[in-house]
């Protein structure tokens, strides 16, 4: 038994460097974001459920894995969704990984992440918090059961104060929903003021089932997004914005990130030359890669 490598989907413009990935939970993540891409994988549909087997096996899995690549938690469910308060599977995995000095990349929308700061201090760790908007009404619409933006900003501040390198994903940017640049510049400014290092942006890339879900939820939004994506491109099972539209969005965010002294990356847009650091945040915990090598992928 070994840690599983993250599947960097090159056809979908993924430029991630090798890393492992652990999903401590299966089923539909309890945060229930309306845009969630993981819903296209059968293992991440149905009720959210803990992978209790990890509690038994994590020692062996980690012990059997020799190459100390960064370990990401998680790509398909939030490792700090509400179930984690009870089951503590994420904590157990991190505890074991930290003991073996694996670098960690934590990707979450939850302020529960601050519970594990004591463990993050034991091994190189970067935390990537997703904050898509500061507007609570928009956040409730698109991420109904995730902690509100204010709690996430407070968590970011706490992590920074403890010396943990943090980045923020403004992901996804949904044109017509959370792409207002004046509003988003306020968010970027607040992120910069916390001492976070970087923002990473990514435009919405609807997957199978997305439009059907939105139609049931909000007809106006469905009609708006259907129109916006009508001239988009289909890439590896994702609906992308038209190239010029997404390039414009990414360049706008790049400008405001640099203006506020932040590093910048876009994720899976096919625009890696605009990045100043790795998009996933592993730049802060890797010793082996330069941004130049990364851009050439």
Q: Closest separation between CB of residue 236 and ligand SF4, Å?
A: 18
Query: Does 22 sit near ligand SF4 (CB under 6 A)?
Result: no
Distance CA 177, CA 139 (A): 10
Nearer to ligand SF4, 146 or 204 (CB): 146
Helix (H, G, I), strand (E, B) or coil at 12: helix
Distance CA 124, CA 207 (A): 34
Omega prior to 74 cis, within 30 of 0: yes
Nearer to ligand SF4, 207 or 295 (CB): 207
| Number of Cα atoms under 13 Å in the Cβ half of residue 177 | 28
Contacts (CB under 6 A) with ligand SF4, residues 156-195: none
Q: Closest separation between CB of residue 171 and ligand SF4, Å?
A: 9
Query: Does 131 sit near ligand SF4 (CB under 6 A)?
Result: no
Give me the DSSP letters along 34-54.
Answer: TT-GGGGSGGGSSS-EE-THH
Q: Closest separation between CB of residue 25 and ligand SF4, Å?
A: 9
Distance CA 122, CA 125 (A): 8
Q: Looking at 109, 152, 197, 246, which residue binds ligand SF4 (CB under 6 A)?
A: 109
Nearest Cα residue to 1 out of 94, 63, 77: 63
For ligand SF4, which stretch binds (CB under 6 A), given 8-16, 27-35, 149-157, 266-274? 27-35
Nearer to ligand SF4, 211 or 243 (CB): 211
Nearest Cα residue to 162 out of 125, 129, 191, 199: 125
Nearer to ligand SF4, 129 or 175 (CB): 129
Query: Does 36 sit near ligand SF4 (CB under 6 A)?
Result: yes
Omega prior to 172 cis, within 30 of 0: yes
Contacts (CB under 6 A) with ligand SF4, residues 69-88: 76-78
Chain residues binding ligand SF4 by CB under 6 A are: 29, 31-33, 36, 38, 76-78, 109, 146
């Amino acid at each position: 038994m070994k840690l599983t490598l993250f599947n960097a989907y090159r056809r979908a413009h993924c430029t991630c460097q090798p890393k492992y990935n652990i999903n401590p939970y299966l089923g539909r993540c309890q945060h229930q974001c309306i845009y969630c891409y993981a819903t296209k994988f059968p293992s991440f549909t149905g009720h959210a459920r803990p992978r209790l087997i990890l509690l038994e096996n994590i020692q062996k899995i980690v012990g059997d894995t020799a190459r100390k690549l960064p370990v990401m938690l998680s790509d398909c469910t939030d490792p700090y969704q509400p179930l984690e308060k009870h089951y503590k599977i994420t904590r157990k995995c991190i505890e074991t990984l930290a003991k073996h000095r694996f670098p960690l990349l934590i990707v979450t929308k939850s302020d529960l992440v601050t519970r594990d700061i004591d463990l993050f201090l034991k091994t190189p760790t970067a935390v990537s918090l997703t904050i898509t908007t500061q507007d609570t009404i928009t956040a409730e619409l698109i991420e109904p059961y995730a902690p509100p933006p204010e709690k996430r900003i407070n968590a970011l501040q706490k992590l920074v104060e403890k010396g943990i390198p943090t980045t923020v994903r403004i992901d996804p940017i949904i044109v017509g929903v959370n792409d207002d640049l004046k509003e988003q510049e306020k968010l970027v400014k607040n992120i910069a003021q916390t001492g976070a290092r970087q923002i990473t942006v990514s435009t919405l890339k609807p997957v199978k089932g997305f439009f059907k879900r939105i139609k049931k939820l909000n007809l106006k939004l469905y009609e708006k997004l259907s129109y916006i994506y009508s001239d988009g491109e289909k890439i590896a099972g994702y609906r992308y914005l038209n190239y010029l539209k997404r390039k414009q969005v990414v360049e706008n965010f790049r400008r405001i990130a640099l203006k506020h002294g932040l590093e910048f990356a876009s994720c899976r847009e096919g625009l890696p030359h605009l990045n100043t650091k790795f998009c996933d945040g592993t730049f802060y915990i890797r010793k082996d890669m330069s941004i130049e090598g990364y851009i050439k992928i």
